[in-house]
Structure 1
């Protein structure tokens, strides 16, 4: 079929995300960004012309970002042509999700709830839940009204979730039939039916925005585990396959779009790092019952699981809660003081916290009480505004002015910590800098150079410095030519192996309830310590706070950057070094008032 795309008066600039083309009977095409149009849409336009239709509207889901498509009958150089207008829609009309669009499309095609469930590989109960959500969004109370509104608004999804003749009575169905080349999404990416499909794992990877460096670690850890499992024959004679959806860790809309796209790939499980949009992602996964394995160290997410364990049966948090951060900081500083390793000039501890990501709880309230009980004076400073570099620099100047014994910088992002440290070291007070998590991200030490020497940092789950952790780091470097970092690469690696362990114990990896039951029974020693899940909140246990058994719980790891390396200084059973005063605190161990 010829695909001529001549330049001409139609080849002018258009608004971002919009294209317009015309297709003639001979297959020639012209218009705005015609060279970027999916060939399958061109074939649909030819089917439109063959059926002599006037207008059709639908949602095209065959691209990374869904497109709202309308095809109109038009005249071009004296011949009938099909005019295609497409526009990106990051949010579908009436706020329905892509999975709800699938259900509505099959409803319009005349399928019953059990037939829709079979086509989409979900339960009839889940179909009913999706339709209930759609009816609320449409403001109607029955299936017929849903179909009427969907047809009126062009809410039919193409390519079709399955091959079906149920749309043949509609214009859009006749167009699809006459195009003759439009595959359904039931086919593999190559268009070939597979006798044994791979086991698919959907992965939300925050490769856009502030978490991009950590995203590489997450991706590498998961990829390494999958390669190792596949090299041993996979699971139940099936290979594992990771389907990646890129997201921005700060952008809830990108998370919603990504989870909808992953759910359409029929994953047997979904994994995620830390996201501002974790709540809607968790909700979407729970609706379909798919195991959702995330590593947002959030006590709030654990509370939501505990509030409705039946709905969140398959949700598992692969780290202890974030509310361990500040109390563990207080405990560590108190131990330093009582052991004589630190004899501070001040009794103040300052906690600087970010103002975004409302579901984060660093345990400030608990830490404040524990600090007072231990003889400290706690002070809380919020990095206000948009939490950009200026906000963290301003917080550093506030800390300089009060000269506390120590400051905990409460952000997960290296950019925030770097801005704080650079400003603080312009005129440093005798203050220990203790950070949450951010230095675990690969490349952090290199970005600050000598300025990060002596910095303390902690992680609710970090890669141990023992033989298992060291071997993982060596294997990772040999495979990818870069450092894995000290936290999320290990989490992602352990998570895939734990998921594989559960799958080996079930007869069907898509029996999600059975898989969730096996995950609940997890006992696993990984590179980030021991994994066992709390029966109510489904999060891993924190050693010393949730459990004193090191075979079941993960240590809250505390590191200090010494000689350009991350040295594990606490807790004692896993430590490979000891705390030393940072270079800007010459009197830190010299005694109070000296």
Structure 2
């Protein structure tokens, strides 16, 4: 016959309490944690990652001021990340996963797979702006493993295809290029190499409308732009693409180029001028340069309201890309968390796949095999169905949208050297 002793009673009670603690859901007042890896030092990425964190912080404060998500406040967990090594990337993501975050929100990882693999081990939803076809290919290669990983913009390939489309649209609108040759200056990392190849493919597919000029290599860091500018002048192409993304170096290029330009050439600086340092460092030399981003803050009513609120909180030159995409990402998560338990990662992932969210950078949808939005006008003719590939020109010292026509603030102007 079994006799319930005091010792048996205490052991049984402790086990019951422990089991209840394991199975009990989080209290409704517990905060929802968002992990935000953020490069705070190093030679690249710091400005973009700071822009993203600012946008995330703005969204969190707005949502909390309105009562949070179903009464729960949002909190960020921020850790430094070494973008240039897989070990540094893993350490940052592992730290956040171990802190029990309900989502990971990251502007971009230069080495994508280590970050994606850490997130995949727990299934924690991970939203990123890698702008990387390699990241999308990973998701497509193993949809179960990477089921809760979402790229919040399209692949970098559209920087190439979209740029050539922009040239054709500008020509149709009245721009007369000095000739149809395109000179590409390409940096050596995978990101810029993919963009260069996509640009060359789009030129080849143009049916002779555009002709491939020289392809000139550069290596980060660029100590002296003089030989590059000399090569540009010798080729004398009507369009020049500087396929590089570091704002400080593009500012240095602009300052050197305006002293000895290729007369009449349209000069496109790819994405880097979106970072605040470009305008701050280039000064008056920035005037007339064209650049683009496959995701960026619109100049419509919603976008301008965000810009005004952002600059009131963060005075100075505003980044036009990761500020808005970080803000939109938190709002996507908050919208989903209103309907599903943040602790149920697969339910959150399924809800993200089903969402259509109109943010300050356009419309986000993820219901495809790559779990990434669509690009307008590169993938859809509907300007509200995706994210506009925005082309900017520096006009009167400010970034001004000149394309697509549905989103533009002004027409393209002849640059001072044109």
Normalising by the residue count of structure 1, what TM-score does the alignment of the two structures yield? 0.63
The aligned residue for residue 11 of structure 2 is none
- The answer as to 2:368 corresponding to 1:535 is yes
Q: Distance in 1 between matches of 2:214 and 2:109?
A: 24
The aligned residue for residue 147 of structure 2 is 313
From 417, 425, 434, give the equivalent of 2:268.
434
Q: Distance in 2 between matches of 1:215 and 1:482?
A: 17
CA shift, 1:288, in A, is 1.2
Summarize the Cα distance change of 1:517–1:380 in structure 2 as closer, same or farther, 3 Å threshold. Answer: farther
Instruction: Pick the structure with greater CA Rg.
Output: 1
Question: 1:24-46 CA distances to partner (integer Å, 9 max, x unpaired)?
Answer: xxxxxxxxxxxxxxxxxxxxxxx
Q: Distance in 2 between matches of 1:296 and 1:228?
A: 25
Q: Distance in 2 between matches of 1:470 and 1:579?
A: 20
Q: Distance in 2 between matches of 1:445 and 1:399?
A: 23
Question: Mapping of 1:394-473 within 5 angstroms?
Answer: 394-430=227-263, 431-473=265-307
Does the CA-based 8 Å contact 1:473-1:483 persist in structure 2? Answer: no
Total equivalences in the alignment: 394
From 466, 477, 488, give the equivalent of 2:322.
488
Summarize the Cα distance change of 1:248–1:415 in structure 2 as closer, same or farther, 3 Å threshold. Answer: farther
CA shift, 1:410, in A, is 1.5
The aligned residue for residue 62 of structure 2 is 228
- Equivalent position SS for 1:243: strand
Relative contact order, CA 8 A, sep 6+: which one is greater? 2
Does the CA-based 8 Å contact 2:192-2:244 persist in structure 1? Answer: no
The aligned residue for residue 201 of structure 2 is 366
- Equivalent position SS for 1:390: coil
From 304, 315, 323, give the equivalent of 2:157.
323
Normalising by the residue count of structure 2, what TM-score does the alignment of the two structures yield? 0.88
- Equivalent position SS for 1:499: helix
The aligned residue for residue 237 of structure 1 is 71
The aligned residue for residue 262 of structure 1 is 96
Summarize the Cα distance change of 1:236–1:360 in structure 2 as closer, same or farther, 3 Å threshold. Answer: farther
Summarize the Cα distance change of 1:563–1:384 in structure 2 as closer, same or farther, 3 Å threshold. Answer: closer
From 169, 180, 185, give the equivalent of 1:352.
185
- The answer as to 2:351 corresponding to 1:518 is yes
Question: 1:470-493 CA distances to partner (integer Å, 9 max, x unpaired)?
Answer: 110111122223343211000000
Structure 1 stretches of 5 or more lacking a match? 1-114, 122-192, 586-594
Summarize the Cα distance change of 1:307–1:359 in structure 2 as closer, same or farther, 3 Å threshold. Answer: farther
Structure 2 stretches of 5 or more lacking a match? 1-17
CA shift, 1:571, in A, is 0.6
Q: Distance in 2 between matches of 1:291 and 1:332?
A: 35
Q: Distance in 2 between matches of 1:272 and 1:225?
A: 14
- The answer as to 2:111 corresponding to 1:283 is no
Question: 1:409-455 CA distances to partner (integer Å, 9 max, x unpaired)?
Answer: 12222023223323323311122111221111123212101111000
Question: 1:70-125 CA distances to partner (integer Å, 9 max, x unpaired)?
Answer: xxxxxxxxxxxxxxxxxxxxxxxxxxxxxxxxxxxxxxxxxxxxx9xx98x9xxxx
- Equivalent position SS for 1:581: coil
Summarize the Cα distance change of 1:290–1:391 in structure 2 as closer, same or farther, 3 Å threshold. Answer: farther
CA shift, 1:289, in A, is 0.6
Question: 1:485-506 CA distances to partner (integer Å, 9 max, x unpaired)?
Answer: 2110000000000011111111
The aligned residue for residue 175 of structure 1 is none
The aligned residue for residue 4 of structure 2 is none
Q: Distance in 1 between matches of 2:138 and 2:193?
A: 13
Question: Mapping of 1:489-504 within 5 angstroms?
Answer: 489-504=323-338
CA RMSD of aligned residues (A): 2.3
Q: Distance in 2 between matches of 1:359 and 1:283?
A: 24
Q: Distance in 1 between matches of 2:36 and 2:277?
A: 23
Q: Distance in 2 between matches of 1:504 and 1:515?
A: 10
Question: 1:349-384 CA distances to partner (integer Å, 9 max, x unpaired)?
Answer: 01222202469621234323234x142211353534
